[in-house]
């Protein structure tokens, strides 16, 4: 690919980071407190290589097979899983993921922990702990994934007790018919609840291209932006 794509990505990154910084200033938060996690799903591995050249070390993917392929082609970049994970894919995810932000069940937690042990035994990875954000269900719809509030503590306890998992915080995606600001505010409250239970800071991963200002105002630590950074998805 030509340098034109690199220039395009550089400009997009700068524009999104300015939006984040402006939102932080409006919320009276310090700039550079909120991390940008570009979502690279459906875009070619070459784009991940360009992002790495531009200093981006972490990106997010939604589909296991696609992410696995890109991890093999661009080994220098850290890929986080943000899409739903089938239990049978847990071993594979554990081999390549730098983090998982869509952990939503006890069964998946056990699967990822076993997958991590197997990956370490086989020498597929060197880091012994997988950072995990619990995906919070904002509407209780199992098709969308996520753990409902009443089951949050149980899942958090399982992850906390797992040998190879680290409970890093929460991730949330507002339903289409919801008020994002309300969803983000409640997720931040639940992060604070977990902080009290476990005695350490918990990250909130919330906000995408269309609602990142609301997320930053609510205290999000990570915003996941796809189109704003990568542009429109390539036509299949």
Q: Has residue 2 got a pLDDT over 70?
A: no
| Domain ranges for the chain | 3-230
pLDDT in tens, 197-232: 999 999 999 999 999 999 999 999 999 999 999 998
| pLDDT score for 232 | 87
Local structure of 170: helix, strand or coil? strand
* CA separation, residue 72 to residues 79, 88, 97 (Å): 11, 20, 11
* CATH number for region 3-230: 3.20.20.10
| pLDDT score for 106 | 97
pLDDT in tens, 21-36: 999 999 999 888 999 9
Q: Has residue 116 got a pLDDT over 90?
A: yes
Distance CA 2, CA 183 (A): 41
Provide mean pLDDT across the span 162-184. Answer: 96
Provide mean pLDDT across the span 156-185. Answer: 96
Q: How confident is the model at residue 17 (pLDDT cuts 50, 70, 90)?
A: very high
Q: What is the CA radius of gyration of the chain?
A: 17
| pLDDT score for 76 | 93
Q: Has residue 18 got a pLDDT over 50?
A: yes
| pLDDT score for 204 | 98
Please state, rounded to an integer, the average pLDDT across all residues of the chain. Answer: 95
Helix 3-26 / helix 45-53 crossing angle, nearest 10 deg: 70
Question: Residue 153, class by beta-carbon neighbours within 10 Å (0-12 exposed, 13-18 middle, 19+ buried)?
Answer: middle
From the centroid of its chain, how far is CA 213? Answer: 17
| pLDDT score for 236 | 54
Are residues 172 and 180 in contact, defined by beta-carbon separation less than 8 angstroms?
Answer: no
> How many other CB atoms are there within 10 angstroms of residue 201's CB atom?
12
């Amino acid at each position: 690919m030509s340098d034109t794509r690199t220039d395009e990505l550089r400009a997009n990154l700068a524009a999104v980071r300015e939006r984040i910084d402006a939102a932080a200033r409006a919320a009276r938060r310090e700039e550079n407190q909120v991390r940008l996690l570009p979502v690279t799903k459906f875009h070619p591995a070459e784009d991940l290589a360009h992002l790495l050249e531009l200093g981006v070390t972490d990106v997010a993917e939604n589909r296991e097979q696609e992410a696995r392929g890109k991890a093999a082609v661009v080994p220098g970049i850290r890929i986080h899983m943000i899409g739903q994970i089938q239990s049978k894919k847990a071993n594979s995810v554990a081999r390549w993921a730098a983090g998982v932000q869509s952990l939503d069940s006890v069964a998946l937690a056990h699967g990822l922990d076993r997958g991590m042990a197997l990956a370490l035994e086989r020498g597929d990875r060197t880091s012994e702990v997988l950072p995990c954000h619990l995906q919070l269900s904002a509407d209780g719809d199992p098709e969308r994934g996520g753990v409902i509030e009443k089951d949050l503590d149980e899942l958090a306890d399982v992850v906390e007790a797992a040998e190879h998992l680290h409970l890093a915080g929460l991730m949330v995606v507002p339903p289409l018919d919801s008020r994002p600001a309300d969803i983000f505010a409640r997720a931040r409250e639940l992060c604070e609840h977990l902080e009290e239970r476990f005695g350490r800071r918990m990250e909130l991963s919330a906000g995408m291209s269309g609602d990142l200002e609301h997320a930053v105002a609510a205290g999000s630590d990570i915003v996941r932006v796809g189109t704003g950074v990568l542009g429109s998805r390539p036509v299949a």
